[in-house]
Structure formats: C-alpha cells, structure tokens
Amino acid sequence: MSDGVADLKADLLPLVGATDTVGDRHQADHWRTVFGALWGAENLRAVRGNRITGSLHSRKVGELTFNRIVFGNQQFERARARRGRDPEPFYSLSFPESGHAEIEIGEAGTRLMPRNVYLLNNGLAARLKVAEEYSTFNIKIPLSALEHRLGRKTDILARAIVQPDAIYHMMQRLIVELLRHVDDLDERSVQFMTSQMLDTVAFFLVSGGTSSDDSLAVQSVRARVIAYLDAHFRDAALTPERIAAACGISRSYLYKVFSNGETVMERLRNRRLEAARGMIETNPANQPLTRIAYACGFTSSSEFSRQFKAAFGVAPSRL
C-alpha cells in the first residue's frame, strides 16, 4: 500500500505489544505471548542467537482482525488446524511493507515482498522465517468468510500490485474507511462494510489484474445481489426467481453472475450459516437452536444442524 495509506492505518491500530518495551532477557517470551495470542499456538525461535524482536498493532472489527506486525530475527511453525478442536482456521491477507520473509504453507512456498499482496491459508501447516526485519499490514479473515467467495481452496495466492489498479485502490480505501469510522458504525453497518470489503478482496485476488467492461459489469451486478441477500437472507421463501426479480435481472443472468465459484443459493446458505453462528456465539437470551435456525431463514432444524456441522466441523449444540 502507498506510504500515506500505510501510515494512516498504523495510526488507526492501537499498540498491543512490542519487544522494545521490556528488558532484553524477556523480549523473546514477551513476543511469544503477544504474537501467540493473535496467531494461535506456534513454535517460535530465533534465527540467529537468542534475540527476537517484534511489535504488533491490532484491532478486531466484526469477524476480521486488522494488524500491523514487525518481525525481527525469528522463525515460527504451526501445525495444521484440527477441525472442531482448534479455533477456526483463518486466511491472512498480507500487504508486505518492508524487508522480506520466507514462508511455506502446506506444500507451497514463496518469498513475501513489498508491492505484492498475498493470501495465506493458516489452516494448513505453516512456517515463516525472517532473517533480518520484515514489516507487514495484514488482515486475519476466518476461512468461512472468504473461501466461498473465492470459489476454491488455496494455500498461497499471490497478486502483484500493478499501477494503476482501480480494484486495488478501491480495496485499500474500503479498509481505511472501515478502520477510520468503525466507532461511529452500528453492528449492521460494520457487517455491510466488511462484506463489501471481502467481496472486493476476492475479486482483486481472482481477477488477475484484468478489469474489462464485461467483468466489471458482472461484478457490479454480483455486488447488488449480495447486498440483497445480506438484507433478506432471513426470508425462508427466497428462490433464484425472486432474487433475480428483486435485483432487476433475469434468472439466467443471475446464474451467469455466480457461475465462477459458489452458486447464488450456496451464497445464501453460507450467509445464513454465518448469521446463525454469530447468534449462537453471542446468545445472551439463551435462545433455542430451533428458533435461531428459523430466524436465519432455515425451515428445518435438522437440516440446519447438518449444514452447520458440514460447514464448521462441529454441531451447533457444541459451540
């Protein structure tokens, strides 16, 4: 990202921890605690000698966590996430700012460098090595929030930043505006903005830098349909015909818009499942699961339970 935008994001993220705030003898342990709280359990050690340095600025917004991290002289490894036992696996959308890092995700490996954007699947076994110093802005995104937008699973997805790139600049402005105004937004507005941002992220990653008039038109209609689904997913009577009519398009064009990746009804199902999971995890009134299922657009509690377990690896009653 441009220096001005990077500086602005740094100002909007509070400091969580830094090794230069503690004595030399405690820096490594301090960084393990700070970074481990964000990334989960990992095996972290120095590349040379014993001195590890780092700093973390971070803020959680809805289901996303925005971070600016500086790594120095360290290597860490993580095992593959275990469904139902570990916290939900996540993607890291990384915008390297300075230095470089060597990373392996599953069977793939690359060097993380500035002027590129990387999507890293931290649900797989991972290894990161920083010999000198490496700084990055990244967004921690639950796999379930992005994977269905991409239409496929990935270990490492890299995109070079080629100027000018209208979609890239739209993406970075959405990130900045969300961080700048989050304290003034209600929960529904935050959900809407994060959904728009993730749609733009997915389009940027899979577009390969091409933005023809036709692809932009399809993306515009897709965004309109997604906004409609976000507003009406609780309606159990939604069908492709009703969705297409409400969005002013034909049913065949609706299918075309969602021909690359998830179908429109898969998108609707995933939106309902995400909403149900949020209600279960924050359920102060202790509502029955059947009521939550119906409130999110499901017509059968047994079908809801089956789809929930298939999506998240755990039954809704076990959350």
- The per-residue pLDDT for range 12-55, each reduced to its tens digit, is 899 999 999 999 889 999 999 999 899 886 789 999 988 999 99
Residue 8 confidence (pLDDT): 54
The percent of residues above 70 in pLDDT, for the chain, comes to: 88
Instruction: Return the domain boundaries, the chain.
Output: 3-164, 212-318
Choose among 301, 246, 247, 238: nearest CA to 269: 238
pLDDT at 300 over 70: yes
3-164 and 212-318 in the same fold: no
Residue 295 confidence (pLDDT): 94
CA separation for the pair 118, 244 (Å, rounded): 34
- Local structure of residue 79 (DSSP, 8 states): P
The percent of residues above 90 in pLDDT, for the chain, comes to: 50
CA separation for the pair 254, 242 (Å, rounded): 11
Strands 64-78 and 101-105: unpaired
What's the rounded mean pLDDT across residues 106-114?
Answer: 90
The H or E element that residue 60 is part of is strand 53-61
Residue 130 confidence (pLDDT): 96
Residue 296 confidence (pLDDT): 95
SS3 235: coil
| Domain 212-318 listed as CATH 1.10.10.60 | yes
Which class does domain 3-164 fall in? Answer: mainly beta
Write out the two tokens for 269.
């199902």
CA separation for the pair 38, 68 (Å, rounded): 12
pLDDT band per the 50, 70, 90 thresholds, residue 205? confident
pLDDT at 189 over 50: yes
SS3 315: coil
Residue 182 confidence (pLDDT): 93
CA separation for the pair 118, 120 (Å, rounded): 6
CA separation for the pair 167, 173 (Å, rounded): 10
Higher pLDDT, 213 or 255: 255
pLDDT at 211 over 60: no
Compute the chain's Rg from CA coordinates: 21
Residues 6+ apart with CB under 8 A from 316: 276, 277, 280, 289, 292, 304, 305, 308, 309
C-beta separation of 135 from 68 below 8 A: yes
Higher pLDDT, 139 or 224: 139
Residue 39 confidence (pLDDT): 87
Residue 24 confidence (pLDDT): 86
Higher pLDDT, 163 or 89: 89
Residues 6+ apart with CB under 8 A from 257: 218, 221, 222, 225, 249, 264
What's the rounded mean pLDDT across residues 241-256?
Answer: 93
CA separation for the pair 174, 137 (Å, rounded): 15
Per residue in 114-168, pLDDT (tens digit) is 989 999 998 888 999 999 999 999 999 998 888 777 765 678 888 888 766 788 8
